[in-house]
Amino acid sequence: MFKTIAIVAGLGLALSATAEAQTPRKGGTIRMTAPYGSSFTSLDIHTTQRAQDEIYAKALHRSLYIWNSAEGKPVLELAKEDVVSGGGLVHTFKLRDDAYFHSGRKMTADDVIWSYNRIMDGSKAYPGARYVRVIEGAAAVEKGQAKEISGLKKIDDFTIEMKLTEKVDPGFYFFTALTSIYPADEAAKESFIQKPIGLGPFKFVEHVPGSRIVLERWDRFYKPGKPYADKIVVSVMGEAAARDVAFRNKEIDTSVLGPAQYVAYQSDAELKGTIVEVAEVFTRYMGMNPAFKPFSDKRVRQAINYAIDTDLIINKLVKGKAYRATSWLPLTAPGYDKTMKPYPYDPAKAKQLLTEAGYASGFEFEWTTSQNESWGLPIVSAVIPMLDKVGIKAKVKQVETAVLAEVVRTGDYQAFIYSQASGPDPQAALKCFHSATPQSACNYTTFKNAEFDKIIDEAGQADDMAKRIQLLQKANALLYEEAPVWFFNYNKAVMAVQPWLKGIQLNATELTHQNVEDLWVDETSPAK
């Protein structure tokens, strides 16, 4: 596995080295694809948390922070400086004074305050509320108890003070498009949803629902010389086979690859060089409900981890398009412990643990799953005979992905298989297993362990980063031992990129989310 990681890292270095070696070329059109559905949900990016929508939003909008793939962390974007005080709870941001909306107006502190207040409108349930809620007084606005977030103060037009409810890195909360900064005057208008205005490197030109979004260069973008391309076209292409033909036909510059295509592209001499891959911060797992008696016993949960030949499933069924999960935190997380080994495939050990737990003759449970090819029914179907070998019978309950999301949040299951974000903030990812975290938030398996809570609380208070990471590693190891889930895999995101498109970033939060101002096409592009 580490060999694979090294290859990925090497590929990343090679990509960045190649990009640096050449002088970025101005002009041309970048033709990206949105592969996660048959349309974009909305042009109001505050209303939608789909990865699909953030692809275009990366060109159109900007947030207080931005994800830096090379550094693997969020960095300041719309602010030049963040001065921390008040025991780590108060952040004073010096905003950029050269950021212009596509309407031509300069961004000020009022726009930031207006945007965050909008996101906290409880009647609209904007998905970004989960992030803005970290600001003191934001929850009161959400519940209709206050009109404005008390923890946000305008010092002057370009200075803003933000008081947080807990000591966290605000970068992890304010880097996605869900917290994009809108122009306060324009965004309130009805027309905004038809013709959105942002601070991004490209301005809106056209949206053909179900087909494409077209954006063109914003000449007053605040990064000198950027963006490089004249235009970006993001085409909606939910069908992998259609993307494959279009990519081979040089009609698109990027294409997300599924397991079957991953194998095909690897074995094709011409296409092999177009593959870009990264370990994304998503953990796939089977969650077990402790309210269901057998799963309340740690030995049973461990037995399940021993009973499944996880490597076999990853290699044969997922076609190697995943990294074996050890515990919860993914490979790219700072708290990931490289020395930790995953549960080995050991049916005898599983049987022994089941006997010790009083289930020598096994038991039966209902397993709720979606159709998803990478973490759904095909995986469940492969696991069932393995569990059967140790006496555990699983009955499949198949639901739609949207329904599954509701099932895991309401606890209406005995077991479920799911893919959950386990980053980029390792502390937030592990906090999902804190007993104070409600099931409806992200503690889907209602995990409760006093020792784990204590470690996470300590990590939250630690000022020293090294100490914090050490504590998170300890918490991650404890999860491994407690096995609230079957640790299946971490997603390996794979994208094919045409040789003329340069500057692709290995974004571990979502590979399709590119800081498009850094992308450029050379003269060999058919859309030059």
Residue 168 touching another protein (CB under 8 A): no
Residue numbers 424-453 binding another protein by CB under 8 A: 438, 440-442
* Side chain identity, residue 268: D
Q: How far is the CB of 181 from another protein (least distance, A)?
A: 20
What is the nearest approach in angstroms of another protein to the Cβ of residue 368? 11
Residue 412 CB contacts under 8 Å (≥ 6 apart), including other chains: none
Is residue 237 close enough to count as binding another protein by CB under 8 A? Answer: yes
Among 126, 221, 375, 452, binds another protein (CB under 8 A): 126
Other CB atoms within 10 Å distance of the CB of residue 389: 15
What is the number of other CB atoms lying within 10 angstroms of the CB of residue 344? 11
176 or 302: CB nearest another protein: 176
Does 422 bind another protein (CB under 8 A)? Our answer is no
- Per CB under 8 A, contacts with another protein among 195-214 are 208-212
Q: Residue 163 contacts by C-beta under 8 Å, 6 or more apart in sequence? A: 86, 89, 90, 91, 135, 136, 137, 150, 151, 152, 153
Of 424, 168, 137, 150, give the one whose Cα is nearest residue 278: 424
- Exposed / middle / buried, residue 190 (Cβ in 10 Å: 0-12, 13-18, 19+): exposed
Residue 129 contacts another protein per CB under 8 A: yes
CA–CA distance, 378 with 489 (Å, rounded to integer): 15
Say whether residue 220 binds another protein (CB under 8 A). Answer: no
Segment interacting with another protein (CB under 8 A) among 74-82, 137-145, 153-161, 255-263: 137-145
Helix (H) or strand (E) holding 76: strand 73-76
Residues 48-87 that bind another protein (CB under 8 A): 48-49
Examine residue 29 and tell whether it contacts another protein (CB under 8 A).
no
End-to-end CA, the chain = 39
* Binder among 246, 275, 377, 462 for another protein (CB under 8 A): 246
Binding part of the chain for another protein, among 58-66, 139-147, 450-458, 473-481 by CB under 8 A, reads: 139-147
Task: Specify the residue, 98 or 400, whose C-beta has the smaller distance to another protein.
Answer: 400
Q: Residues binding another protein: what is the number (CB under 8 A)?
A: 53
Cβ proximity to another protein: between 47 and 165 the closer is 47
**Does the protein bind another protein through residue 241 (CB under 8 A)?**
yes
HEC profile for 190-249? Answer: HHHHCCCCCCCCEEEEEEECCCEEEEEECCCCCCCCCCCCCEEEEEECCCHHHHHHHHHC
For position 142 contacting another protein by CB under 8 A, the verdict is: yes
Q: How far is the CB of 6 from another protein (least distance, A)?
A: 34
Which residues, numbered 248-287, are part of the site for another protein (CB under 8 A)?
248-249, 251
Which residues ranging from 316 to 355 are in contact with another protein (CB under 8 A)?
none
Q: In terms of Cα–Cα distance, which of 231, 227, 236 is closest to 200?
A: 227
Based on the shown chain and the rule CB under 8 A, indicate whether residue 235 belongs to the binding site for another protein: yes
Taking CB under 8 A as the criterion, the residue among 81, 156, 388, 400 binding another protein is 400
Q: Decide: is 411 part of the binding site for another protein (CB under 8 A).
A: no
Look-up of token digits 């990264």: 278
Radius of gyration for the alpha carbons in the chain, expressed in angstroms and rounded:
24
> What does the alpha-carbon distance between residue 390 and residue 500 come to, in Å, rounded to a whole number?
52
Q: From CA 199, how far away is CA 218, in angstroms rounded? A: 9
Which residues are at the interface with another protein (CB under 8 A)?
Answer: 37-39, 41-44, 47-49, 122-127, 129-130, 139, 142-144, 193, 208-212, 235-239, 241-242, 245-246, 248-249, 251, 399-403, 405-407, 409, 438, 440-442
